[in-house]
Amino acid sequence: MKKQYFLLSTFLLGTLLSCSNGEKADGYGNFEATEITISSEANGKLEYLNVEEGQVLEKGTAVGLVDTLQLYLNKQQLLAQKETVASKSGGVWSQVSVLNEQLQTAKTEQERIQNMFAENAATQRQLDQANSQVDVLKKQIKNVETQNAPIVNEVKSIDAKVAQIEEQIAKSKITNPIKGTVLTKYAEPGEMVSFGKPLYKIADLEEMTLRVYVSETQLPNIKIGQEVTVKIDSGEEMKDYQGTISWISASAEFTPKIIQTKEERVNLVYAVKVTVKNDGSLKIGMPAEMWINSR
């Protein structure tokens, strides 16, 4: 999923936006929003994509699916392979079970011979044979268990491949990551998509950011968290919004080139972001003014 920041920030002339009483605003700029481009995380045919431009989507909503048939078939094949391999392991453990029963019998016989030997009722040869029988069975069990190790490793390898396919299947399901408004739709159902292909672009428009530029002389009058008035054109009058300064650039930059005169373009200014609650009228790229309330 690729995240982009849509920056349509410009510095407008005071003569373009000003109040009827002739006073100049403290800053001019445009509204912007953080845009997120949702991209495909799988390869295949796009089965469906239920998004439309202008639609408001909730976070976590399932909006699309990339074909998972081939992944499903690969998974079933691996599960069948795992069952076959596991059956080999079952035969090995059956041998171990039989040998363990023989070992228990041999140990019982070993203990009986040891008791008889202590009472001089058995010979050293009989005791050695009993001890040898126990040792032989232990070695046989160890050898059989060693044969099972490759089978266990093969089963683990298959499990890892199954988990990988399950993750790919999960990524084939397109889930909306944030609550917001769909700005642009890039793909349609039936198209072939690949990893990284943009599907749609979304942004949270409930709260907009006004990026304005102020001069060095205005910096002492503003601070982060300060409330300001934001104004936009509304017919013959200006419409007011309450805004809060959320960011002030730490370094100066030249005035954006959109400014018409060369003298103003070479001036150094500071970028400022103002957060404004959107009532539905504010749009990305819309010009606006910032007025410091203390004035």
Q: Give the mean pLDDT of the chain.
A: 86
pLDDT at 251: 87
pLDDT at 294: 60
CA-based nearest residue to 215, from 19, 11, 7, 21: 11
Mean predicted confidence (pLDDT) in 199-221: 93
In whole angstroms, give the CA distance from residue 125 to residue 189.
Answer: 84
Model-level pTM? Answer: 0.69
How many other C-beta atoms are found inside a 10 Å radius of the C-beta of residue 149? 11
Helix %, strand %, coil % of the chain (to 5): 35, 30, 30
Integer Cα distance of 18 and 27 in angstroms? 10
pLDDT tier, 264 (very low <50, low <70, confident <90, very high otherwise): low
Between the CA of residue 217 and those of 220, 222, 260, 269, what are the distances in Å? 7, 10, 22, 10
Q: Which residues are within 8 A (CB) of 128 and not within 5 positions of it... i.e. 6 or more apart?
A: none
Selected residue with higher pLDDT from 24 and 261: 24
Contact between 287 and 28 under an 8 Å Cβ cutoff? The reply is yes
CA–CA gap between residue 170 and residue 150 (Å, rounded): 30
pLDDT band, residue 261 (cuts 50/70/90): low
pLDDT in tens, 133-160: 999 888 888 887 777 778 878 888 999 9
> Is the separation of the CB atoms in 38 and 159 below 8 Å?
no
Could you tell me the two tokens for 221?
């009058």
Of the candidate CATH numbers 1.10.10.10, 3.40.50.970, 2.40.30.170, 3.40.50.300, the domain formed by 2-34+203-292 belongs to: 2.40.30.170
